[in-house]
A and B are shown apart, each in its own frame.
Chain A
Amino acid sequence: MDSHQSNNSIEDIFDSSLNLEETHFKEGYDEGYNHGLNTGKEEARQVGLKTGFETGEELGFYKGCVDVWNSVIRVDPTRLSSRVQKGIKQMEELIEKYPAMDPEDESVQEIIEALRLKFRVLRAALGMKLDYDGYPKPKDIEF
């Protein structure tokens, strides 16, 4: 009968006012979500560029050092001890191994730290006073 239909339409009218809170909530959520998507993407791009630059700079620095040291070995194979030469070779391999195209690869931190350590050992062995200024230094705290 008609009364059933009119009951529905009455409910519909009330429905939209009852669901006002829900509607507005959803509207707000969608707005925020989309805004987040866009600003997040932009921020990620900035962070990616920055980290990429820093990583590239550091890796390039180590590669440069390795190339110079390899030249030394070519010019005078006896100049550097076998232990030092082995260390240079290992550094070369680590640079090669670094997943430059895959930042999500878990070994990135491990490899960069191994490189930093190898560099410190070689720097000390060669008596060099060279510091890589690129990465942040820990604060000086004395206990």
Chain B
Amino acid sequence: MEFFDDGDYELREIQKLEGHTDRVWCLSWNPKTGINGVPPIIASCSGDKTIRIWEQSGPSQSWRCKAVLEETHARTVRSCAWSLCGKFLATGSFDATTAIWENVGGDYECVSTLEGHENEVKSVSWNECGNMLATCSRDKSVWIWEVLPGNEFECVTVLQGHTQDVKMVQWHPRMDIVFSCSYDNTIKVWWSEDAESENWECCQTIGESNNGHSSTVWALSFNVEGDKMVSCSDDLTLKIWEANTLRMESGDGYAPWSHICTLSGYHDRTIFSVHWSREGIIASGAADDAIRLFVESKDDSIDGPSYKMLLKKEKAHDMDVNSVQWNPVDHHLLASGSDDGTIKIWELASTSTEMPEASTESTESTASTEKKALQKLGMTTLI
């Protein structure tokens, strides 16, 4: 686990991706790209009812829109997620359906449409094996689906328990446990001894009385080991949780999650998105248009681990930041999506390293890197 020194880092804007004609709600990096000679691919979904697939390629290494998935969802596409094998993309929409897309010879085809939710689908998530999908909705329920041969999806069970709109659903990175967070201020943990049976139940509810959030919980994310979780909320805090997952993985029954840390005072507007990188950096996207990064603090505290803010990127976007996602392969690459309709690719770098060669294709990134270099030298820009 790498520890970061104070104040020596910055988030450099690599490129701004434009194309969506409405707010960008969610992003997802294709986990099987960016390695073994495969160019990195990221999917974005928007209020303009489309999903865009972006790829970084060419000698200039710039990002281009490779495909626009349209004419399928009738309303805003709110969430998108690649399966871990990289072959399928699930998209959840306000039209109450979830579409499953497959890359068939370079073209993306909608191979299945999952119906069942009563109203807007807010989030979709694949499990680690890729044989199950979870969806959640404003109808307060979480649906678990099983992938069957021939791209058939069957509903395994419908989990009810939340008393309000469920904002996000997420599978644990290692075990078939589902986490959901809601407008009812709680995080619920759902588990079954047999994931494919319908005997799922809520084995834990993390509410205000367990040091939980006091307002809508918008998102949650796990660290790479899967023994810690971070959640973000409208109550302006990030909360870190941990559980004895080793015990769980060895089949010793359910180990409950307990609160270890609350990061407050860093945000003054709702935090919409949070993502934990494989290197241990927590990124947050908030309603104040900023992106913040947090890491575990080196200072040994008797009360357990503590976290500190590594950096704050003000005006990362022109409007609310709805989604932040670390690249799972290149751990210093971060993507963000905003109400301003754009996606930005950032690189976390130490301020002492050299500025990268400006790309010849995107004038946008050239201007910003030069501007930053000039500002560093204390010179005012002429623009």
Contacts and interface: CB of A to CB of B under 8 A. Distances in A.
Contact of A143 (B116, B138, B154, B156): B138
B94 A124 contact: no
A44 interface: no
Contacts of A46: none
B114 A124 contact: yes
A120 B157 CA distance: 12
B154 A83 contact: yes
Contacts of B175: none
B120 interface: yes
Interface in B325-380: none
A121 B139 CA distance: 14
A124 B158 contact: no
Contacts of A84: 154
Interface in B104-141: 114-116, 118-120, 138
B154 A120 contact: no
A81 B138 contact: no
A125 interface: yes
Contacts of A81: 154
Interface in B67-83: none
Contacts of A117: 158, 160
Contact of A142 (B94, B116, B155): B94
A121 B138 contact: no
Nearest to A122: B155
B166 to A, nearest CB: 13
Interface in B162-199: 165
Interface in A70-127: 81, 83-84, 117, 120-121, 124-125
A84 B156 CA distance: 10
Nearest to B196: A83
Interface residues of B, number: 14
Nearest to B154: A83
Interface of A is mostly: helix
B120 A121 contact: no
Contacts of B116: 120-121, 124
Interface residues of A, number: 12
B140 to A, nearest CB: 11
Interface in A126-143: 138, 140, 142-143
A120 B165 contact: no
Contacts of B156: 83
Contacts of A138: 118-119
Contacts of A142: 94, 120
Contacts of B114: 124
A121 B94 contact: no
For A84, A124, A143, which residue has the most chain B Cβ atoms within 10 angstroms?
Answer: A124
A117 B155 CA distance: 12
Contacts of B119: 138, 140
A81 B155 CA distance: 12
A112 to B, nearest CB: 14
A124 B115 contact: yes
Interface in B10-63: none
Nearest to B116: A124
A124 B155 contact: yes
A97 B144 CA distance: 26
Given A120-B118, A143-B138, A125 B165 contact: no
Nearest to B148: A81
Nearest to A113: B160
A120 B155 CA distance: 10
Given A142-B94, A143-B138, A125 B154 contact: yes
Nearest to A90: B198
A120 B156 CA distance: 13
Contacts of B118: 120, 138
A120 B114 CA distance: 12
Contacts of B158: 117, 121
A83 B152 CA distance: 13
A138 B140 CA distance: 14
A85 B115 CA distance: 19
A110 B282 CA distance: 42
A142 B115 CA distance: 18
Contacts of A143: 138, 165
A26 B118 CA distance: 54
Contacts of A83: 154, 156
13 contacts: A83-B156, A84-B154, A120-B116, A120-B118, A121-B158, A124-B115, A124-B116, A125-B155, A138-B118, A138-B119, A140-B119, A142-B94, A143-B165
Given A140-B119, A143-B138, 4 more contacts: A121-B116, A124-B115, A124-B116, A124-B155
The 6 closest A-B pairs by CB, nearest first: A124-B116, A124-B115, A121-B155, A83-B154, A117-B158, A120-B116
